[in-house]
Amino acid sequence: MGYVQRFSFIYFRRTRGKRVKKLLIGIVSGILLINIHSMVAQADTVDYQVGAIKSTHQVDTAKSYFDLKLDVAQEDDIQVKVVNVSDKEITIDTSIDRAITNHNGVVAYDVKTGKSTDNIPYKIEDVITTQDKKITLAPKETKLVNYHVKVPTKAFDGVLSGGISFREESTDKDSNKKSSMAIENQFGYVIAVLLHGESEVVKPDLTLGKVNLGQINNRNVVYAPLQNIKAMYVNKLSVSSQITKKGSKKVLYSENKADMQMAPNSILNYPISLNEANFKPGKYTVDITAKSKGHVWKFSQSFEIKDKEAKKLNEKAIIKKKEPPYIIYGLILLFIIFIAFVVRYMIKKQKQIKQLQNKLKEKDVSIE
């Protein structure tokens, strides 16, 4: 379970013109290969640092994140220390984000990349709020940022999970807009927050939602949405899956993953790759086995790929082209060469035999 987590992301602004596109293609590899060390160096020199101030309601004081237990309807404030370690003024955006599970089976704090189940007791962003959504710090300044916790009046079991996120605003956006191409490298922090309910949930439970089609990086996948319907983490999760034609036992596609984790009341949109193949209309069945610390769930669901949906996704998909069977072509060519050699050899031998026979006839005539 998370702690104070630092993350980074790089994005490219869209540019116009063929020259810029060529330039982008030309330098991307250079950026990836040459600037790896400089990116690591930048990660070590982030302009600010954050840290959780231990609350009187902390369950485990050894944890570096907020591990809270409050009574029903109780209210309290928690604090985060934010330090500007740079020599310039900076502005930091902060938000409270619900814990979700992304399609890789990793707990994240971004509702744009994952969903919660309908039976989630409460959304943590409704329970924990802040008035300081933007934090401006002078050079070397330190501030304590307050976050208000208001426990719902109706008790719940299990835990609510989320994170307090921090992202520094870029100070050179205006200058970048004038540039034909701009690359921004931003870093952020997340401090995890756990809010315990009245009692702990000890037995996990998973269900399977409706199977659907989609794409990851323009590669066709079948999504099998595994739903953690309990307010607890599911740890050490492994999933094996296979897709067959409905009524058939021949496995067309399969996927196996292990060491995954699911956030409380979250949905793991588990992708089964088609290995860069086209969607083919028809009726199929997906069989899934999920395991977590001695618990086992088995699911089977039939689904249909309709022609219209398959065509729409296939038009955007990256499809692996079948390589020509060069080995077969080579063997056929060798066989043809061998046959030609044999025929030529036989013709040559026949010709030699005839010549020998003619010589023998001439000798017989001269003897007479």
Block means of pLDDT (10 residues each) for the chain, length 368 residues?
A: 53 43 44 36 72 96 96 97 97 97 95 90 97 97 98 97 95 51 67 97 97 97 99 98 98 98 98 97 99 98 98 93 69 84 81 75 59
pLDDT of residue 355: 75
Which of 179, 180, 183, 184 has the alpha carbon at shortest distance from 168?
184
Q: Report helix, strand or coil for 328.
A: helix
pLDDT of residue 25: 42
Instruction: For the beta carbon of residue 163, count every other beta carbon within 10 angstroms.
Output: 26
Q: Are 319 and 273 in contact (CB under 8 A)?
A: no
Unique residue bearing structure tokens 């020509």: 324
Instruction: Match domain 206-316 to its CATH number in 3.10.129.10, 2.60.40.10, 3.50.50.60, 1.25.40.10.
Output: 2.60.40.10
pLDDT of residue 174: 44
For domain 4-196, the question of CATH label 3.90.190.10 is answered with no
Domain range annotation of the chain: 4-196, 206-316, 325-356
Q: What SS3 string covers the chain?
A: CCCEEEEEEEEECCCCCHHHHHHHHHHHHHHHHHCHHHHHHHHCCCCEEEEEECCCCECCCCCCCEEEECCCCCEEEEEEEEEECCCCCEEEEEEEEECEECCCCCEECCCCCCEECCCCCCCHHHHEECCCCEEEECCCCEEEEEEEEECCCCCCCCEEEEEEEEEECCCCHHHHHHCCCCEEEEEEEEEEEEEECCCCCCCCCEEECCCEEEEECCEEEEEEEEEECCCCCEEEEEEEEEEEECCCCCEEEEEEEEEEEECCCEEEEEEEECCCCCCCCEEEEEEEEEEECCEEEEEEEEEEECHHHHHHHHHHCCCCCCCCCHHHHHHHHHHHHHHHHHHHHHHHHHHHHHHHHHHHHHHHHHHC
Angstrom distance (rounded) from CA 205 to CA 295: 9
pLDDT of residue 29: 41
pLDDT of residue 26: 47
Q: Which two tokens stand for residue 271?
A: 């992708």
Domain 4-196 identical in fold to domain 206-316: yes
Q: Report helix, strand or coil for 232.
A: coil
Q: What's the start-to-end Cα distance of the chain, in Å? A: 112
Q: Which two tokens stand for residue 302?
A: 């039939």
pLDDT of residue 7: 56
Instruction: For the beta carbon of residue 262, count every other beta carbon within 10 angstroms.
Output: 28
Type of residue at 123:
K
Angstrom distance (rounded) from CA 340 to CA 352: 18
Which of 162, 192, 190 has the alpha carbon at shortest distance from 6?
190
pLDDT of residue 32: 38
